[in-house]
Amino acid sequence: MQVLGIETSCDETGVAIYDSEKGLLAHTLYSQIGMHVEYGGVVPELASRDHVRKTLPLIEEAMQIAGLLRQDIQGVAYTAGPGLVGALMVGATIGRSIGFAWKVPTMGVHHMEGHLLAPMLEENRPEFPFIALLVSGGHTQLVKVARMGSYEIIGDTLDDAVGEAFDKTAKLLGMGYPGGAALSALAEQGDIKRFRFPRPMIDRPGLDFSFSGLKTFAVNTAATQGLDEQTKADIAAAFQEAVIDTLLIKCRRAIQQTGWKRLIVAGGVGANRVLRQRLQTMLANEGGAVYFPRHEFCTDNGAMIAYVGCQRLLAGQQDGLEIQVYPRWALESLPPI
Ligand code: KG4
Ligand code: ZN
């Protein structure tokens, strides 16, 4: 089955074609970040309008790259939530309409299920069951994945998501939006010993996270120390160190509690080099293994949506003719595959 996937939940328009036998045939992506950067965050109305402009040209491009004609497509998948309602409506309307015109079934996909299963697009893919660490701009969750389609959230953030904490701290240090990647690059030049940030929640049992205190700690450190270039790098390094330590401790705890020794990491923060390295070492010590999507599939993309849509369509699931999106949507409410 060859499935066209469309992702428009936030500020990236992603399109891909996934073949259940041959794997990924094509993917195209347009990032709107350059447009939102002057506002310091995503402007929902501008995001929707830009998805309207970009989605069809990207679909045409992906079809050309894959060398396919419309009659080669057997299903269409689009992100139906969670995300910005207007942005979601664009992808859902286009996806549903193409399905209607081409007379093929369509499937609304959960964006976080897409992130969660993105490692399945790689050659080195995990077997079920596994633990997933979802770390994006909007989510920080530990999820037990018994099998495809079965998700149990065992740890969640009580306040800021980890990507959000990265972005807010980056903003404090004078970086553009979203500053997570820039902050981690700056951290490479910092001295991790100069400041010691707290490791939130590690002394409490359980698997929940809290990151807003780290942001406050960064604000206070900046206020007392001033913000010369070296201090900025040292704050970035201390902040990143505290975040990674905290994530590591909770992942280890999840592995020990469940006895499941496979961990997958997904979402934009999964692109962080130090996090990847440290998790690899930790899992090796625990006798397990960690799996990551390639860098470009850590952040939003159409490939993960095409993949999940394909699995659900193959299982006989499909959406009705009415177009529905879910700005908030619990991962645990998804039907099994
Ligand atoms: O998954 P994603 O593309 O979008 C959401 O669905 O949220 O994640 C974006 C988040 C942003 O907060 C961005 O700053 C962060 O991932 N991010 C990073 C890195 N690259 C992206 N955070 C830390 N280190 C990085 N290298
Ligand atoms: Zn995402």
Tell whether the model's pLDDT for residue 202 goes beyond 90.
Answer: no
Residues 6+ apart with CB under 8 A from 271: 181, 295, 298, 299
What does each C-alpha distance from 126 to 40, 133, 334 come to in angstroms? 37, 14, 21
**Biggest alpha carbon distance in the chain?**
64
Intervals of CATH 3.30.420.40 along the chain:
2-116+297-333, 125-292
**Cα–Cα distance measured from residue 142 to residue 153, given in angstroms and rounded to the nearest whole number:** 6
Mutation choice for ligand 1 from 166, 211, 272, 277, CB with most ligand atoms inside 8 A? 166
For ligand 1, the distance from its centroid to the CA atom of residue 209, given in whole angstroms, is: 17
Instruction: Answer whether 267 contacts ligand 1 (Cβ < 6 A).
Output: yes
Instruction: Answer whether 271 contacts ligand 1 (Cβ < 6 A).
Output: yes
Instruction: Answer whether 83 contacts ligand 1 (Cβ < 6 A).
Output: no
Nearest residue to 24 (alpha-carbon basis) of 269, 297, 298, 337: 297
As given in the structure block, the two tokens for residue 39 are 């506002």
Please tell me the number of the ligand nearest to residue 29's CA. 1
**Topology (CATH level 3) of domain 2-116+297-333:** Nucleotidyltransferase; domain 5 (3.30.420)
Residues flanking ion ligand 2, Cβ below 5 Å: 136, 300
Taking only the tens place, the pLDDT of each residue in 280-331 is 999 999 999 999 999 999 999 999 999 999 999 999 999 999 999 999 999 9
Instruction: Answer whether 138 contacts ligand 1 (Cβ < 6 A).
Output: yes
**Cα–Cα distance measured from residue 243 to residue 166, given in angstroms and rounded to the nearest whole number:** 9
Predicted model pTM: 0.95
φ/ψ of 239, rounded to 5, equals -65, -50
Taking only the tens place, the pLDDT of each residue in 231-262 is 999 999 999 999 999 999 999 999 999 999 99
How many distinct helices (H) and strands (E) make up the chain? Answer: 10, 10
For ligand 2, the distance from its centroid to the CA atom of residue 196, given in whole angstroms, is: 30
Mutation choice for ligand 1 from 10, 136, 329, CB with most ligand atoms inside 8 A? 136
For ligand 2, the distance from its centroid to the CA atom of residue 267, given in whole angstroms, is: 6
Residues 6+ apart with CB under 8 A from 330: none
Count of Cβ atoms closer than 10 Å to residue 4 Cβ: 34
Percent of the chain with pLDDT over 70: 100
Instruction: Answer whether 238's CB lies under 8 Å from 192's CB.
Output: yes
**Cα–Cα distance measured from residue 132 to residue 262, given in angstroms and rounded to the nearest whole number:** 9
Residue nearest ligand 1's atom 14 by CA: 180
Taking only the tens place, the pLDDT of each residue in 83-131 is 999 999 999 999 999 999 999 999 999 999 999 999 999 999 999 999 9
For ligand 2, the distance from its centroid to the CA atom of residue 246, given in whole angstroms, is: 21
Instruction: Answer whether 162 contacts ligand 1 (Cβ < 6 A).
Output: no
- pLDDT recorded at residue 204: 85
Is the domain covering 125-292 a CATH 3.20.20.70 domain? no
